[in-house]
Structure formats: structure tokens, C-alpha cells
Amino acid sequence: MDRKECLNAAIKCVCSDRDQQYGAPLTNFAKISELWSVYKGVKFDPKDVAVMMTLVKIARISSGQAKSDNWIDGCGYLSIGCELENEENVGTTSSIKV
């Protein structure tokens, strides 16, 4: 799999029917961050979820048993984090609704 195929596969993952399955990324990541915050007693935000989930994929890659799926999912989580970052900086909610 080359980089274009990897990115296209990530696009399919994050731009398809995932919103219908899990809700909008901001909504879903906000719920996850709230649960993590309560569980650990440390404040997490939705962008932290994107980073931490990417780190899960990096840990799997570092196991030596990496699969293309880990790279694809990592790209997907980072793209969601990028969108969350840009939404926060712009102060709009163009495609992410709470």
C-alpha cells in the first residue's frame, strides 16, 4: 500500500457513515474525553482523544506486528484532531456539531 492508498483508505474511514454509527467526531470525542477525565482525574479534551487514539495505533505499530489498518486508523485520528484544532481556532462549527 502506498501513501495515496493509505490516505484514501483513511478518508473512507473518517468520511463515510462513521457519524451515523458513532455520532459526529466532536460529540463522540467529547464523551470519551469526559469519561477519561473522570476516570483519571485529569482534564482531557476532544483533541487529546485524537492524539491518544493515534498513540494507541503507534504502540501497535511499534509491536513489530504492524498492519496497514494501524497506519490508516492513525491517519484518520490525526485528521480528526486537525479538524478539531481548526474548528477551535476559527471558532466555527462548519462540519462538527455538538
Going residue by residue through the chain (98 aa), what tens digit of pLDDT does each one get? Answer: 889 999 999 988 888 877 777 788 889 999 999 999 999 999 999 999 999 999 999 999 999 887 999 999 999 999 999 999 988 777 554 454 43
Res 88: pLDDT: 77
- Alpha-carbon span 53 to 80, nearest angstrom: 11
- For residue 76, the tally of other CB atoms under 10 A from its CB is 24
Whole-model pTM over 0.85: no
Cell of 59: 504502540
CB 79 within 8 A of CB 95: no
DSSP, res 52: H
Give the pLDDT score at 98.
38
Dihedrals phi, psi of 52, to nearest 5 degrees = -65, -40
pLDDT at 4: 93
